[in-house]
């Protein structure tokens, strides 16, 4: 699996090189294992206090929900149905049992919202809260990042930039507006949307954990194509508009560069039309917006109002 650019993915490439033949399928949203006439999808996701969340910004239950939703979003990106969740939690020694129970309850609430039981896990101590969530799912037609073809359309679900708007407010010492706070603290894994798109011809798909700016490059690399993005079409969360103006950024750029929206980026066939969009939106109750086209070549080219614009996605090691 080819990966996009960036220090985080340089490290993954180094790990893959060291593992050699012992590594298989690295770089997609989930590992895929044959399971009769279906496929077992498995993923794990790590959420660390001070890196992914702060408990002076959100409550322990929200930290648990958020960590679990991020892992479940990987299943959504494969078109999988969740069947189980296993959390491994490192608890600071000074933390109360009430906070631990609340955090675990948030994990259970997120899992329960998509019909997945908590089926095990692990508990330890550590210097800060650390939440590793392993998710299991089954997919009848798993969708990887590697299937996009020239002339496919590039689409995104929902709206972008809400989580970043909350983050920017907290960094200024302010209280985010409710919609932005919810986008950050209680993201919704797009399980139903992923299943619908898988069943209706999705060629390639991934979730937007690192933002459209970062994740578009991974889809392009995995599929060995170029993505041409028309940023004026990016669906912007209402909360992101004022936040972008504060930073003197175009709102579409602000939204495209924001991470952890956990929407889906998907390549669909060129004949996917308005009637299909209406069917999706009626079934899934969220928007589906075309933001670009797949071309021959490599990398990502983004334009805003006809002018090229260089985007920066989130990278843990930048």
Contact 192, 283 (CB under 8 A): yes
Residue range(s) in the chain whose domain bears CATH number 3.90.650.10: 153-308
Say if strands 130-139 and 226-230 run parallel, antiparallel, or are unpaired. Answer: unpaired
Read off the pTM.
0.92
Q: Does 31 score more than 90 pLDDT?
A: yes
Does residue 8 surpass a pLDDT of 90? no
Phi and psi for 159 in degrees, rounded to 5?
-130, 160
What was the pLDDT predicted at 29? 82
Cα separation, 200 vs 306, in Å, equals 31
- Per the prediction, the chain carries an average pLDDT of 94
pLDDT digits 0-9 by tens, 224-262: 999 999 999 999 999 999 999 999 999 999 999 998 999
Predicted confidence band at 316 (pLDDT cuts at 50, 70, 90)? low
User: CATH 3.30.1330.10 occupies which residues in the chain?
Assistant: 30-139
| 270 pLDDT above the threshold of 80 | yes
CATH fourth-level superfamily of 30-139: PurM-like, N-terminal domain (3.30.1330.10)
Strands 299-304 and 226-230: parallel
Q: Does position 9 have pLDDT exceeding 70, yes or no? A: no
CATH 3.40.50.2300, applies to 153-308: no
Query: Tokens 């990016």 identify what position?
Result: 234
In degrees, to the nearest 5, what angle opens at C-alpha 179 toward C-alphas 289 and 218? 45
């Amino acid at each position: 699996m080819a990966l996009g650019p960036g220090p985080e993915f340089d490290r993954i490439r180094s790990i893959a090189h060291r593992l050699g033949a012992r590594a298989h399928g690295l770089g997609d949203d989930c590992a895929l294992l044959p399971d009769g006439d279906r496929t077992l999808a498995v993923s794990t996701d790590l959420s660390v206090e001070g890196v992914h969340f702060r408990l002076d910004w959100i409550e322990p239950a929200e930290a648990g929900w958020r960590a679990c939703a991020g892992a479940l979003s990987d299943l959504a990106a494969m078109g999988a149905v969740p069947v189980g969740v296993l959390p491994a939690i490192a608890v600071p020694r000074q933390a109360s049992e009430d906070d631990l129970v609340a955090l675990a309850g948030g994990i259970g609430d997120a899992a329960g919202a998509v019909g997945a039981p908590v089926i095990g896990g692990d508990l330890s101590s550590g210097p800060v809260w650390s939440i590793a969530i392993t998710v299991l799912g089954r997919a009848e037609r798993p969708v990887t990042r590697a299937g996009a073809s020239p002339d496919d359309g590039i689409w995104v679900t929902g709206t972008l930039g809400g989580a970043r708007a909350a983050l920017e407010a907290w960094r200024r010492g302010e209280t985010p507006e409710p919609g932005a706070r919810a986008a950050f603290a209680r993201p919704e894994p797009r399980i139903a949307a992923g299943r619908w798109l898988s069943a209706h011809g999705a060629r390639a798909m991934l979730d937007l954990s690192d933002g459209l700016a970062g994740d578009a490059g991974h889809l392009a690399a995995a599929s060995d194509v170029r993505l041409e993005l028309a940023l004026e079409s990016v669906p912007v969360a209402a909360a992101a508009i004022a936040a972008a103006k504060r930073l003197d950024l175009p709102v579409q750029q602000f939204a495209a560069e924001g991470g952890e929206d956990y929407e889906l980026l998907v390549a669909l066939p060129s004949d996917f039309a308005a009637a299909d969009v209406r069917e999706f939106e009626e079934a899934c109750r969220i928007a589906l917006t075309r933001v670009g086209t797949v071309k021959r070549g490599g990398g990502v080219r983004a334009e805003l109002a006809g002018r090229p614009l260089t985007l920066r996605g989130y990278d843990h090691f930048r």
